[in-house]
């Protein structure tokens, strides 16, 4: 029996002080695309997502809503769970930090670190930003004592706390980065954390007594764990670390498992410096990669409830389709860089790429197949392929492995555009009029086989569309059953089977009567 390689990939756990928006959905869609790609590549995949439900912001928000913190998070965590069906995600688990399994794992790791001598009790005095739930040294504060991250006023706080000896891991961390240069990506994120560590690390306050909504410290229940100490451990608690460790040993400790965290750049420092130090101190294996993606603006402005420009992924995916939304957010910008969202840009991409290029190619080809060959897949040409695909397949798989989703989609669109051009140049209608049915069959088979290949390559980003294309080509097996192995050799589209032409996949949104801004002319 062949043992599959294993792949463990996570989103950050999303903070429940606001409803899901474009940024949350972008991370989840990217991680889902990577998980689907790895499954097609023959991996056994565990995809984790969830929500972060502790901390002062949640406590305050619950008070303002007139609810207990637990009632508040029970209510507001629901739409985050609903992203799974709305965006066609394939996560294996959804973890909440208020769950008993998470609480026990956090307390277990605390005990492990304390037994190893990395935890001690002391007193902390510093400048605290409530929105970011972070202490900052006075040297990092802005004018008038404002937070260096969000610009809001900070508070002077002093309290008894437990510390984690983060200061002991500075030299180790820098050496680790030097010896493992591809662990922290992209390069600008890595440079930022290296620069931060070079300034010197201080021990990390990991508990609070001024906050009550959190996981209590086992030996001192008047203390609750700092939200960032608590939150990072979800990647272990979902695998039952500290309890029955079957999942933990299978998915985390096994050195053959590839472990990747995908996060927004604003929390990259926590997932690199602090998380790696905690794991190293506990004697646990370290993740293979931490990838920080960029931020989205909306028509050049930061997303803000007060401005009213927060992009609701449920509304957009419902209006344009989940696959079109997934395609747009991964095609519009290189993963790792900042990007700008506008509905008009989505419409333009929908009409150009999805309707004109992909949808039109499938629909026109199946129309010709009905007209020229009774809708039956022609014989495989003895002359071999006339549209090059082999290089595209390998290039696309490499791009996916690098989380270069934009480049993967550019690669996939090359044969789509080439096939549309090939039809125009080879003119099967002319050969049909001349009675050359063999040549008509050769042309159509080449295009149909290209579409079969494209469907498999597109599956990680647009799974429903990929399966529809495959079905219309008369293929009964699902793409996930065969994986990339189904396109390693050209000419595996079975001849003699009837196609199943349907409606156009992507009817154009704009028409010739629309103006450039997408509005109907009167």
Average pLDDT taken over every residue of the chain? 92
Token pair of 269 as six digits? 């420092």
The pLDDT, as a whole number, for residue 514 is 57
Helix spans in 199-248 (H): 227-232, 234-237, 246-248
User: Which residues fall within 8 angstroms of residue 394, CB to CB, at 6 or more apart?
Assistant: none
pLDDT for residue 520 is more than 70? no
Query: What confidence tens digit (pLDDT) does each residue in 171-190 have?
Result: 999 999 999 999 999 999 99
How far is residue 373's CA from residue 360's CA, in Å, rounded to a whole number? 19
**Domains of the chain and CATH, by start:** 6-293 (3.40.50.620), 343-487 (1.10.730.10)
The Cα–Cα gap between 226 and 71 comes to: 21
Closest CA to 268 of 284, 288, 291, 234: 291
pLDDT beyond 70 at 299: yes
Nearest one of 166, 43, 88 to 464, comparing CA atoms: 88
Tokens (6 digits) for 5: 């390689």
Question: What is the tens place of the pLDDT at every residue in 358-399?
Answer: 999 999 999 999 999 999 999 999 888 888 888 999 999 999
Mean pLDDT of 80-91: 97
Q: Can you give the pLDDT at residue 513?
A: 52
Q: What is the pTM of this model?
A: 0.92
For residue range 108-152, list pLDDT tens digits in order: 999 999 999 999 999 877 777 777 767 777 777 877 788 887 778
Per-residue model confidence (pLDDT) at position 35: 98
Residue 432 Cα distances to 119, 370, 380, 429, 437, angstroms: 80, 13, 18, 5, 6
Q: What is the mean pLDDT of residues 326-346?
A: 94
Contact yes or no for 286/5 (Cβ under 8 A): no
Q: What separation in angstroms does the CA of 95 have from each of 102, 231, 240?
A: 8, 11, 12
């Amino acid at each position: 029996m062949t043992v599959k390689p294993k792949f463990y990939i996570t989103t950050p756990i999303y903070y429940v002080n606001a409803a899901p928006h474009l940024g949350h959905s972008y991370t989840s869609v990217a991680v889902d695309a990577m998980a689907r790609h790895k499954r097609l590549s023959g991996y056994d995949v565990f995809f984790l997502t969830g929500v972060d439900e502790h901390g002062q912001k949640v406590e305050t928000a619950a008070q303002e809503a007139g609810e207990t913190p637990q009632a508040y998070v029970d209510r507001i965590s629901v739409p985050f769970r609903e992203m799974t069906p709305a965006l066609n995600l394939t996560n294996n688990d959804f973890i909440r930090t208020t769950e008993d399994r998470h609480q026990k794992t956090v307390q277990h790791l605390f005990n492990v670190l304390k037994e190893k001598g990395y935890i001690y009790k002391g007193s902390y005095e510093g400048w605290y930003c409530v929105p970011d739930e972070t202490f900052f040294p006075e040297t990092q504060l802005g004018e008038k004592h404002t937070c260096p991250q969000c610009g809001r006023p900070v508070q002077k706080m002093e309290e008894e706390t437990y510390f984690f000896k983060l200061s002991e891991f500075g030299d180790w961390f820098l050496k680790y980065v030097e010896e493992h240069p591809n662990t922290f990506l992209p390069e600008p994120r890595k440079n930022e954390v290296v620069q931060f560590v070079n300034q010197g690390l201080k021990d990390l306050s990991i508990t609070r007594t001024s906050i009550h909504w959190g996981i209590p410290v086992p030996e001192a229940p008047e203390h609750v764990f700092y939200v960032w100490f608590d939150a990072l451990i979800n990647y272990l608690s979902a695998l039952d670390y500290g309890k029955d460790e079957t999942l933990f040993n299978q998915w985390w400790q096994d050195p053959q498992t590839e472990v990747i965290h995908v996060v927004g750049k604003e929390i990259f420092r926590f997932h690199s410096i602090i998380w790696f130090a905690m794991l190293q101190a506990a004697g646990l294996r370290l993740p293979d990669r931490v990838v920080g993606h960029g931020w989205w603006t909306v028509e050049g402005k930061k997303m803000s409830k007060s401005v009213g420009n927060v992009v609701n992924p449920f509304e957009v995916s419902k209006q344009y389709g989940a696959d079109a939304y997934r395609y747009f957010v991964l095609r519009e910008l290189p993963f790792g860089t900042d990007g700008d969202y506008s509905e008009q840009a989505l419409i333009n991409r929908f009409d150009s790429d999805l309707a004109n290029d992909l949808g039109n190619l499938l629909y026109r080809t199946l129309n010709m197949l009905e007209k020229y060959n009774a809708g039956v897949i022609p014989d495989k040409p003895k002359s071999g392929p006339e549209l090059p695909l082999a290089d595209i397949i390998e290039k696309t798989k490499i791009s996916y492995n690098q989380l270069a989703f934009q480049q993967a989609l550019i690669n996939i669109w090359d044969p789509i555009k080439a096939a549309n051009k090939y039809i125009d140049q080879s003119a099967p209608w002319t050969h049909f009029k001349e009675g050359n049915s063999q040549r008509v069959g050769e042309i159509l088979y080449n295009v149909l086989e290209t579409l079969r290949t494209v469907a498999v390559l597109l599956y990680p980003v647009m799974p429903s569309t990929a399966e529809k294309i495959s079905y219309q080509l008369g293929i009964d097996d699902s793409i996930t059953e065969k994986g990339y192995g189904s396109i390693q050799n050209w000419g595996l589209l079975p001849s003699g089977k009837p196609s199943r032409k349907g409606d156009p996949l992507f009817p154009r949104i704009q028409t010739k009567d629309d103006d450039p801004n997408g509005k109907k002319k009167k």
